[in-house]
Structure 1
Amino acid sequence: MTWLRRFTGLRVRLAAAFTAVALLSSVLASGISYVLLRRVVLQRAQSAVLTEVRGALRQQIPQQIPPDTEPVLAARLEDALAAPGRKVAAVPVPLRGGVPAVPPGRLDVPVSEEFARRATRGIVFERLVVKNRPSLEGVPYLLVGARASGYTTTADEPERTTPPMVFVSVRLSGEAADLRSFARVLVVADAAALVAALLLALLATRGVLRPVRRLGAAARALGAGELATRVRVRGHDELADLARTYNHSAAALERTVAELRAMEAASRRFVADVSHELRTPLTSMIAMTDVLAEEAAAADDGGAARLVAEETRRLGALVEHLIEISRFDAGAAALVPDDVNLADAVAGTLAARGWADRVAVEGPADLFVRADPRRLDVIVANLAGNALKHGAPPVSVRFGPADAGPGGEPGVRIVVADRGPGIPDDLLPAVFDRFVKAEAARSRSEGSGLGLSIAMENAVLHDGTLEAANGPDGGAVFTLWLPSRRDTEEECDG
């Protein structure tokens, strides 16, 4: 996804927007310039031709026209208006409102009847492009039609003293070439403006995004736990205000986290101190209540004594669990690794607690793992005890080699399963949290709610994992994975 972010990132979008605006502005300015120049060029050519036609009519046609001079006047007008790229046709004016006709081939462009009729009323013009003649395809032309005025004719024979009409076709190839050259210059200028705009956009976005990147890096460092991370504030713009806001927020967060850590450390010390202070009197109380329970049992009146002894032992177990948790919180828990035979370790754990006949064990007899025997015993005991207390038979412990763990390294897997009601769906994500019980709504239950938390802490201490799930046939399934050999010991051995 790095390449996708590279082409859809903020810098690319800002540069694209900046370049698009610059290109649009350049194209718009070029288009307006081209239209204005085209209008000026064509207007200038048109004005020059119209002025020349008017001048030729005034100069070549006298006010009093002698009879039968129309051919001579026509020749004089054609000679006067002849020029390169221009063709002239002087044709007689039909009497009684007729439309003059230009012989085919006299001009480069055809003269329509409507244009000829308008030309009989004065001088007219129009611009057109030849499309039906291959040799002149796409060439612009100016067509001018004019009739002389300000002369007198003979009253009895006006046709003998009427001057001819003039039609002129002017090829605007020079003007068209100039416009094409100007258009090419505009295209080159637009391309140069596009390149310059792109370079300026990249430079501008670099200056804008550099503070944003610094803020992003600082935010990532802050998220990684480096609460002392700050950014340098430069300038007085919005980005500088954002940097100041980040620094103030980071400082406030650092103070809050420091206070929370101090409170958490104080609470952990309090729990540890209280647990240690309770251990000594509880040990004496457990011993005395056991003696009282035995004496009361001998006298056949030991219900209350047994209850006190049981509750005292339960309180002692809770204190032991709290002490163990406090060690994990303080980072004082340490491993004493050894090569452990899993079959012997599991059998010893179950036998020591009298569960050997209640739990089915399945696994190879020669499978070894590098682990702390005492902490492995705590994990298996907590998982098996949890299955016996809250599940239903048959309870099983299966172990064997695991081809690959979470990081791909080899290890061993221990699975403890039962056929009880399983773990409620709402409790499954928090089953390893502290003081979480399946019967949390009751005021009192047998467990302390710390056994699975201690098992998880011990698994993590081994660089292993512990997962909880519900089996397909019902019941809870706890899966412990431990690496075959710890990385730290491999480094030491090497």
Structure 2
Amino acid sequence: MTRRLWPRGLRARLLAAFALVTVLGAAAAAWSSAGSASTALVTSTEQRLAETVVGQIAPIAPQLTYPPDQGALDRLRAAIGADTLVTYQDLRSAAGAGPELITDALRTAVRVQNRLVTQRIIADGRPWLLVGTPIVITAADGARTPSGIEVYTARDLTDVDRQIDALARQAVITAALALPLAVLLAVLAAGSVLRPVRELRDTARRLADGELDARTSPRGADELAELTVTINEMAESVQTSMAAMQRMQADAKRFAADVSHELRTPLTTLTAVVEVLATTTDGMDADARESAQLAITETHRLVRLVEDLMEVSRFDAGTAQLRMEEVDVVGGVRNCLRARGWLDQVDLVAPDEVLLRADRRRLDVIVANLVGNALRHGEPPVRVRISASREQVRIEVTDSGPGLPEHALSHVFDRFYKADAARTRTPGSGLGLAIALENARLHGGDLSAGNADGGGARFVLRLPRDLEEL
């Protein structure tokens, strides 16, 4: 519940915290001032009322006779005013509500301490100040002797309470008036604090979008300025690393393209030589025939590798193009299998005809790579299923082998990746699946790898049926 009530944005939290602290500070200061003023008001009122009572007693005390009679007590009570009680032993003179308000605690304190004592009480919902004092006889030599006369009077403090309530209201008003000022100050403070934060956010966003030369100018010498310098240094390091990586990638791609191009001519000659050599192997002895066959196989493998490298270099350079035509996918897949002698090794499950606008050669390359991969690394039966919907054509190639290891699923389309490190001398170039994926994407489709429910690897090619908008 607290998380939902507390604002989430940094600006909103800063404004709320600043305003809250300011208002609470103003309220605490105003309340403290009101409390101090209230205490001072009550204290001064008590002192004033006590001095008034003493001043009222002082002129008449010397005129009293000791021991006093009832008349003397009445005169003393009348001089002090209403709500007063004057006692001497069993004599008593009272008027107003004072006698009922006087507490036993006050009387005991006056008799024990033999001096003026005050006490605040609440009676019938009204505040009262009780003042009690003994009358002392002062002799000519300055000696002071208790006369036995005690004076008690009650003074109403309702006006004082009203003044205290007014002070409390003033404190509340002061705190309320501090809120707009606090919000204004918070807005100004938030603007100055959050401006560099927003600039850092914008810079980070530009860096994330690939604008590696984005920088923020540091301002001042505080922690935000240090953070800005650190982010700028990080961006500079990332930019330098990315530039070096891009140069290395460009050099690697150019090297592969150049080497492939330079190897093409001598490989053409070498291919012609090994084809001639292949026609003469029957007359060779066993060792020479084995060596010749190995040379022929490796030459063909090298030719395929160079062709795949040249194809990859075209993808990297962005020069690979589609030659679109209407293709019967079922007939194209069947021709692909027939041309490579795989019809007897692969089960083709497909409708009679599925028409699709595609590049016939590149579709043949995709299917050949997927089926060839299944035949080399999986186990029979290998099955190709073709299905079509209004939106796409789906070609699924599955085998009955052990399937793809979990760690290989995210790497099967990487160039030169081999799931089994021990399988280093396979007929393939290690680029077939990468080329198949690039060709699928060139068509606007996708190629995914996984494992079938019953075991074995499963590759699914999805091609959109309407390519005219691509």
- Structure 2 residue 135 is matched with structure 1 residue 126: no
3-state SS, counterpart of residue 61 of structure 1: helix
Quote the offset at 1:57 in angstroms: 1.8
- Matched residue, 1:91: 86
* Equivalent residue in structure 2 for 1:281, among 266, 274, 290: 266
Quote the offset at 1:234 in angstroms: 4.1
- Matched residue, 2:397: 416
- Structure 2 residue 264 is matched with structure 1 residue 264: no
3-state SS, counterpart of residue 188 of structure 1: helix
3-state SS, counterpart of residue 404 of structure 2: coil
Contact 1:75/1:90 (8 A) holds in 2: no
Gapped regions of structure 2 (runs ≥ 5): 140-144
- Matched residue, 1:326: 313
* Equivalent residue in structure 2 for 1:193, among 178, 186, 190: 178
Distance 1:162 1:72, change over 3 A: farther
Quote the offset at 1:271 in angstroms: 0.9
- Structure 2 residue 432 is matched with structure 1 residue 433: no
Q: Distance in 2 between matches of 1:119 and 1:326?
A: 112
Distance 1:43 1:109, change over 3 A: farther
Q: Distance in 1 between matches of 2:219 and 2:454?
A: 64
Equivalent AA in structure 1 for residue 442 of structure 2: L
Quote the offset at 1:479 in angstroms: 1.3
Q: Distance in 2 between matches of 1:277 and 1:4?
A: 68
Contact 2:84/2:96 (8 A) holds in 1: no
Contact 2:447/2:459 (8 A) holds in 1: yes
Quote the offset at 1:381 in angstroms: 1.0
- Matched residue, 1:364: 351
Contact 2:196/2:224 (8 A) holds in 1: yes
What value does the CA root-mean-square deviation take over the aligned residues?
Answer: 2.8
- Structure 2 residue 106 is matched with structure 1 residue 115: yes
- Matched residue, 1:45: 45
Quote the offset at 1:469 in angstroms: 0.8
Quote the offset at 1:349 in angstroms: 1.5
* Equivalent residue in structure 1 for 2:293, among 306, 321, 346: 306
Distance 1:22 1:109, change over 3 A: farther
Q: Distance in 1 between matches of 2:188 and 2:175?
A: 20
Q: Distance in 2 between matches of 1:90 and 1:128?
A: 17
- Structure 2 residue 167 is matched with structure 1 residue 182: yes
Equivalent AA in structure 2 for residue 445 of structure 1: T
Summarize deviations over 1:101-154 as a string: whole Å, max 9, x none.
998973286333222121232211112223xx3xxx2x32211111211268xx
Contact 1:64/1:151 (8 A) holds in 2: no
Q: Distance in 1 between matches of 2:313 and 2:244?
A: 20
Contact 2:64/2:72 (8 A) holds in 1: no
- Structure 2 residue 336 is matched with structure 1 residue 336: no
Q: Distance in 2 between matches of 1:226 and 1:420?
A: 47
3-state SS, counterpart of residue 429 of structure 1: coil
3-state SS, counterpart of residue 84 of structure 2: strand
Distance 1:111 1:64, change over 3 A: closer
Q: Which has the higher strand share?
A: 2
* Equivalent residue in structure 1 for 2:451, among 470, 484, 490: 470
Q: Distance in 1 between matches of 2:151 and 2:79?
A: 11
Q: Distance in 2 between matches of 1:267 and 1:112?
A: 105
Normalised by the length of structure 2, the TM-score is 0.90
Distance 1:220 1:370, change over 3 A: farther
Could you tell which deviates more after superposition, 55-64 or 468-477? Answer: 55-64
Quote the offset at 1:272 in angstroms: 0.7
| Number of aligned residue pairs | 459
- Matched residue, 1:457: 438
Contact 1:102/1:111 (8 A) holds in 2: no
Contact 2:346/2:384 (8 A) holds in 1: yes
Summarize deviations over 1:191-220 as a string: whole Å, max 9, x none.
121232122112211221122112112111
- Matched residue, 2:97: 106
3-state SS, counterpart of residue 135 of structure 2: coil
Distance 1:191 1:221, change over 3 A: same
Equivalent AA in structure 1 for residue 396 of structure 2: V
Distance 1:321 1:72, change over 3 A: same
Contact 1:65/1:162 (8 A) holds in 2: no
* Equivalent residue in structure 2 for 1:147, among 134, 139, 142: 134
3-state SS, counterpart of residue 229 of structure 1: coil
- Taking only the aligned residue pairs, the percentage that are identical comes to 41
- Matched residue, 1:406: none
- Matched residue, 2:78: 79
- Matched residue, 1:490: 469
3-state SS, counterpart of residue 62 of structure 1: helix
Quote the offset at 1:360 in angstroms: 1.4
Contact 2:77/2:93 (8 A) holds in 1: no
3-state SS, counterpart of residue 8 of structure 1: coil
Distance 1:218 1:57, change over 3 A: same
Equivalent AA in structure 2 for residue 41 of structure 1: L
Equivalent AA in structure 2 for residue 180 of structure 1: D
Q: Distance in 1 between matches of 2:208 and 2:335?
A: 45
Contact 1:336/1:372 (8 A) holds in 2: yes
Gapped regions of structure 1 (runs ≥ 5): 153-157, 404-409
3-state SS, counterpart of residue 402 of structure 2: coil
Distance 1:102 1:459, change over 3 A: farther
Contact 2:120/2:129 (8 A) holds in 1: yes
Contact 1:282/1:316 (8 A) holds in 2: yes
Contact 1:439/1:445 (8 A) holds in 2: no
Quote the offset at 1:229 in angstroms: 2.0
Contact 2:86/2:149 (8 A) holds in 1: yes
Q: Distance in 2 between matches of 1:38 and 1:385?
A: 97
Equivalent AA in structure 2 for residue 112 of structure 1: T
Could you tell which deviates more after superposition, 21-30 or 375-384? Answer: 21-30
Could you tell which deviates more after superposition, 230-239 or 452-461? Answer: 230-239
Normalised by the length of structure 1, the TM-score is 0.85
Equivalent AA in structure 2 for residue 51 of structure 1: E
